[in-house]
Structure 1
Amino acid sequence: MAESNTHDLAMRMAELARSLALPRDLDSILSGVTATAKDLIPGVDAAGILLVGRGGDFESVAQVTDLPHQLDELQMKFREGPCVQAALDDVVVRTDDFREETRWPQYAPACIELGVLSSLSFKLYTADRTAGALNLFGFQPRTWDSDAETIGAVLAAHAAAALLAHREGDQLRSALSTRDRIGQAKGIIMERYKVDDVQAFEMMRRLSQDSNKKLTEIAQQVIDTRG
């Protein structure tokens, strides 16, 4: 990589890193990642991020065009392809020419039909319920070099950090909401039955066991019947 290109890449990476620290929504951050990939990596004509749930559901996000979503749908239909493989198994999956690709007998011909001849996919992370991949596609056969893989790996790390931070934020908000509901329900029971907080919680716990429902469901039922 030439010195000027190296300097440009370093500046763009620093700019992207700063953007992660700003109070931006997740979609904006991920869209910035895919747009930067298309801008910085020669041969990338489309880019997107695939999230795969353990139940087989999937979500295409941060697409530069609608093409990545079409390709994601085909991969989930055929249960094969570089994006799925990167999300669930390998760290980097590359195809220089789909016309010579033998790993995915159904997906490769479908890519060619859509005009896609090359791809480069990077694992973002694998969590308990979700896996993800950053996926780059080219309309021409492309021998992806080490620079392309390096830039893609850095961008994938940025996307993974944003996704995991968002996930942890959702978990924290859910935990706080659960705590508040249980506390509110406990207060209602204490007032209604003239018991202390320990007894109120024990009443909800027993109801949870007897009805085979989560404690949060019991708490919500208590709140709903307050009137």
Structure 2
Amino acid sequence: MTSDVPVDPTINDAFRQMSALIYAGADSGSIHQSLVDCAARLVDGCDRSSLLLRTRDRFVSAASTDEVARHIDGIEIEVGEGPCVDAIVSEAYQHDADLTDGTTPWPRFTQRVLAETPVRSAIGYRLLLDGEKVGALNVFSDTPRGLTQKSADIGAVIASFASVALMAIRAREEAATLRQGLQSNREIGKAVGLLMAAHHISGDEAFELLRSTSQELNMKLAKVASQVIEGQESQFGPGGDPAGHVASSGRVANGTADAVS
């Protein structure tokens, strides 16, 4: 069974390129920039685009095609209204085809945009991440009614892809955090083992020694553990005598701040 909906090969090609960028491990800034560049290239009548993200309770302009689009993000943040801000908090995209016709829902925003930029038409699309409203994609035209219903439909497709891209970024960041946590746990476990062997103490006592040293140095526990391991390896190499090295630091047994320096 085939679909009756026409497929635009240009859009498909753009999505393939962005997908390749995401899964090649590109940084989040590059992905954000690719999204706004894609919107400007594919949305009919779009002259510029921006991506506004909400971090905790703050809006941040994450990417833009040019300084005009970034400036408009700044206007929205300052006045607290506009297509992007409304798109984030509402259930539908926000489209003002002609900012010059006096019927705008964002009077303060529109007054500033008309006075300070060439933009005359705007659409904002909300972006969802696991059901959470995390930002919005903005598209702008310098021509009154330059963004039509067709423009809005294409922009909605790109915004949907943008939400998927943000999910991929979050998943990758969570995976990196998990890897860092596992690495830290391994180093802590190794350092505990070195201290146990050196001082013939229990695992709990060795961990308490690391913990107290961490507090005295005002240093993360994983960093203290790493220094214990690095000190042993630099002194004896991976195959050396860990007990002899750790025991040789007489103040380690007392749990003082010089234990792992």
Q: Does the alignment reach a TM-score above 0.5? A: yes
Higher alpha-carbon Rg: 2
C-alpha contact 2:84 2:137 (8 A) present in aligned 1: yes
Match of 1:149 among 152, 160, 164: 152
Question: What do residues 91-124 of structure 1 show as CA deviations (whole Å, max 9, x unaligned)?
Answer: 3011122232443232110011122221011112
Q: Separation in 1 of the partners of 2:196 and 2:108?
A: 65
CA offset at residue 188 of structure 1? 0.8
What is the TM-score when the length of structure 2 is the normalising length? 0.69
Q: How many residues align?
A: 215
2:36 aligns to what? 34
Give the 3-state SS of the residue equivalent to 2:135 in structure 1. strand
Q: Separation in 1 of the partners of 2:25 and 2:59?
A: 26
1:73 aligns to what? 74
Q: Structure 1 residues 172, 198: closer, same or farther in 2, change over 3 A? A: farther
Question: What do residues 190-227 of structure 1 show as CA deviations (whole Å, max 9, x unaligned)?
Answer: 211345667766x48987xxx7xxxx933334434634
2:195 aligns to what? 192
What is the TM-score when the length of structure 1 is the normalising length? 0.78
1:50 aligns to what? 52
Question: What do residues 118-149 of structure 1 show as CA deviations (whole Å, max 9, x unaligned)?
Answer: 10111122469971211001112217443222
1:175 aligns to what? 178
Q: Structure 1 residues 177, 118: closer, same or farther in 2, change over 3 A? A: same
Percent identical among aligned pairs is 21
C-alpha contact 1:51 1:58 (8 A) present in aligned 2: yes
RCO higher in 1 or 2 (8 Å CA, sep ≥ 6)?
1
Amino acid in the other structure paired with 1:133: A
Give the 3-state SS of the residue equivalent to 1:177 in structure 2. helix
2:260 aligns to what? 226
Q: Separation in 1 of the partners of 2:121 and 2:210?
A: 56
C-alpha contact 1:126 1:132 (8 A) present in aligned 2: no
Farther off after superposition, 160-169 or 137-146:
137-146
Give the 3-state SS of the residue equivalent to 1:44 in structure 2. coil
Amino acid in the other structure paired with 1:48: S
C-alpha contact 2:11 2:42 (8 A) present in aligned 1: no
Amino acid in the other structure paired with 1:152: G
2:220 aligns to what? 217
Q: Structure 1 residues 91, 130: closer, same or farther in 2, change over 3 A? A: closer
Q: Structure 1 residues 54, 169: closer, same or farther in 2, change over 3 A? A: same
Match of 2:18 among 20, 30, 37: 20
CA offset at residue 32 of structure 1? 3.7
1:82 aligns to what? 83
Give the 3-state SS of the residue equivalent to 2:57 in structure 1. coil
Give the 3-state SS of the residue equivalent to 2:49 in structure 1. strand
C-alpha contact 1:87 1:124 (8 A) present in aligned 2: yes
Q: Separation in 2 of the partners of 1:88 and 1:109?
A: 22
Q: Structure 1 residues 59, 34: closer, same or farther in 2, change over 3 A? A: closer
CA offset at residue 47 of structure 1? 0.8
Gaps of 5+ in 2: 1-5, 228-258
Please report the RMSD computed on the Cα atoms of aligned residues, expressed in angstroms.
3.3
C-alpha contact 1:54 1:129 (8 A) present in aligned 2: no
C-alpha contact 1:29 1:159 (8 A) present in aligned 2: no
Gaps of 5+ in 1: 1-5
Farther off after superposition, 64-73 or 143-152:
143-152
